[in-house]
């Protein structure tokens, strides 16, 4: 066994995301991907570097744990912070020893086995919205059907509490509890038993406290990081089933609150609605009282999250081709490098928008999309 055997799953996740970023981003950028930061720069990084599987897989409270792993990986010679990202900040690079650890450390196989179906940009809302509502609904109904109206809620989030109050307004508690139980039993039957058991064990009820990730990990003899990730996957699978079969799971479908374009903020959704009515970004900015740069951020994020969104309303095809030619020639997604290679004549907005869609190649006379992996977008991109 090599020295890399000491890597735990969180070490491996940090190393994997840093590797995907190919020496072009900082340690802070690594943390933001893992924690599911919703800023446009992080969303861009997730798409550009092929990191959707690792987005939003750790809790926002685990910042110090991630920083400790970063320090350890540097001390062990797996990471190097000697590079420079755009703006002069220190970038983080995976060393040859770190690359070997990624290939051979047992933690890697364990992490990817858990996250095999996870797509953070698609699924993180399940953890952020559906799970708190589900926890609170189960706890509340469990108490109310037993006549217990006084209890300490396990979820304090205002959104979740408002949703549960709306659920109960004018409805029979017994009927609502029976419906939720029936829907959960059916949806859990479709999950791997390990995930279903873990999710049920996390529920609190009347006279019963839900198990924490630490307790679940101790019971399973697994890493808490892997347990938290597995819970995310389980909740995402519940969301997927509820959205696929709304008639079978009407309560869970409503709980999941489907959005026209998954993951967008309310502000970006408002921008999207106006764009779909034919307005251009300048007019959207005027109507909404926003800076043009904010609306342009919305346009880029919509394009990243919605593959049907037509970017060529805002971008000519010659510029799109030129951006991708420069990106492939340079082997980087650094915006400044691409802009300089194009003589400084293309705006950063146009470059960012172009990078949301891989180019199309000609095959047998037909235009076909080139897989992102062929353009270095799978997380294994070389340094520029």
- pLDDT, mean of residues 315-328: 95
Query: Residue 258 — very low, low, confident or very high, per pLDDT cuts 50/70/90?
Result: confident
**Ranges of each domain in the chain:** 3-116, 121-256, 310-375
What is the per-residue pLDDT across 219-244, written as a single tens digit (0 to 9) for each? Answer: 888 899 999 999 999 999 999 999 99
pLDDT over threshold 80, residue 361:
no
User: Phi/psi at 368 (nearest 5 deg)?
Assistant: -130, 150
Token pair in block for residue 282: 């300048």
- What average pLDDT is seen over the chain? 89
Return the pLDDT at 266: 86
Q: How far apart are CA 173 and CA 208, in angstroms?
A: 19
What is the per-residue pLDDT across 75-101, written as a single tens digit (0 to 9) for each? Answer: 999 999 876 665 567 889 999 999 999
Instruction: Output 355 or 364, whichever has higher pLDDT.
Output: 355
Cα dihedral sign for 261, 267, 268, 270?
A: positive
CA end-to-end distance (rounded Å), the chain = 33
What is the per-residue pLDDT across 167-216, written as a single tens digit (0 to 9) for each? Answer: 999 889 999 999 999 999 999 999 999 999 999 999 999 989 999 999 99
**Contact between 35 and 62 (Cβ < 8 Å):** yes
User: Phi/psi at 39 (nearest 5 deg)?
Assistant: -65, 155
User: Phi/psi at 281 (nearest 5 deg)?
Assistant: -55, -35
Q: How far apart are CA 296 and CA 294, in angstroms?
A: 5
User: DSSP characters for 82-99?
Assistant: EEE-GGGPEEEEE-HHHH
**Contact between 54 and 229 (Cβ < 8 Å):** no
What is the fold of 3-116?
A: Arc Repressor Mutant, subunit A (1.10.10)
What is the number of other CB atoms lying within 10 angstroms of the CB of residue 111? 24
pLDDT over threshold 70, residue 68:
yes
pLDDT over threshold 90, residue 15:
yes
pLDDT over threshold 60, residue 381:
no
Task: Count Cα neighbours of 325 within 13 Å in the Cβ-side half-sphere.
Answer: 8
pTM of the model: 0.86
Q: How far apart are CA 121 and CA 18, in angstroms?
A: 18
- pLDDT, mean of residues 107-114: 93
Which residues are 83's β-sheet partners?
A: 91
Burial of 210 per CB tally in 10 Å (0-12, 13-18, 19+): middle
Return the pLDDT at 84: 63
Burial of 225 per CB tally in 10 Å (0-12, 13-18, 19+): buried
Which residues are 363's β-sheet partners?
A: 366
Q: How far apart are CA 113 and CA 249, in angstroms?
A: 28
pLDDT over threshold 90, residue 134:
yes
Q: How far apart are CA 307 and CA 356, in angstroms?
A: 9
């Amino acid at each position: 066994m090599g020295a890399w055997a000491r890597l735990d799953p969180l070490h491996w996740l940090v190393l994997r995301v840093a590797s995907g970023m190919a020496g072009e981003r900082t340690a802070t950028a690594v943390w933001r991907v893992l924690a599911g930061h919703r800023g446009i720069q992080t969303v861009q990084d997730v798409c550009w570097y092929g990191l959707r599987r690792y987005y939003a897989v750790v809790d926002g409270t685990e910042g110090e744990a991630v920083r400790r792993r970063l320090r350890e990986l540097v001390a062990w010679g797996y990471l190097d912070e000697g590079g420079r990202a755009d703006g002069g900040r220190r970038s983080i690079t995976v060393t040859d020893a770190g690359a070997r650890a990624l290939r051979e450390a047992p933690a890697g196989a364990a992490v990817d086995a858990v996250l095999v179906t996870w797509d953070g940009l698609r699924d993180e809302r399940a953890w952020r919205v559906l799970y708190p509502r589900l926890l609170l609904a189960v706890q509340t109904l469990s108490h109310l059907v037993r006549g217990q109206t006084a209890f300490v809620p396990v979820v304090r989030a205002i959104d979740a509490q408002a949703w549960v109050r709306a659920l109960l307004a004018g409805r029979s508690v017994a009927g609502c509890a029976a419906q939720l139980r029936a829907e959960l039993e059916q949806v859990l039957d479709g999950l791997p038993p390990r995930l279903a058991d873990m999710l049920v064990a996390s529920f609190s009820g009347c006279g019963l406290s839900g198990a924490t990730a630490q307790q679940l990990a101790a019971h399973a003899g697994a890493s808490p990081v892997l347990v938290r990730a597995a819970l995310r996957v389980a909740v995402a699978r519940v969301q997927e089933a509820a959205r696929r079969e709304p008639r079978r799971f009407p309560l869970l479908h409503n709980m999941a609150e489907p959005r026209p374009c998954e993951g967008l903020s309310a502000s970006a959704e408002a921008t999207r609605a106006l764009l779909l009515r034919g307005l251009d970004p300048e007019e959207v900015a005027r109507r909404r009282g926003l800076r043009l740069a904010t609306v342009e951020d919305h346009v880029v994020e919509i394009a990243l999250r919605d593959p049907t969104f037509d970017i060529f309303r805002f971008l000519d095809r010659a510029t799109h081709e030129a951006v991708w030619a420069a990106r492939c020639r340079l082997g980087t997604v650094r915006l400044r490098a691409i802009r300089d290679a194009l003589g400084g004549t293309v705006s950063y907005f146009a470059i960012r928008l172009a990078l949301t869609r891989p180019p199309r190649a000609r095959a047998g006379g037909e235009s076909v999309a080139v897989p992102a992996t062929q353009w270095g977008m799978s997380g294994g991109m070389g340094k520029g």
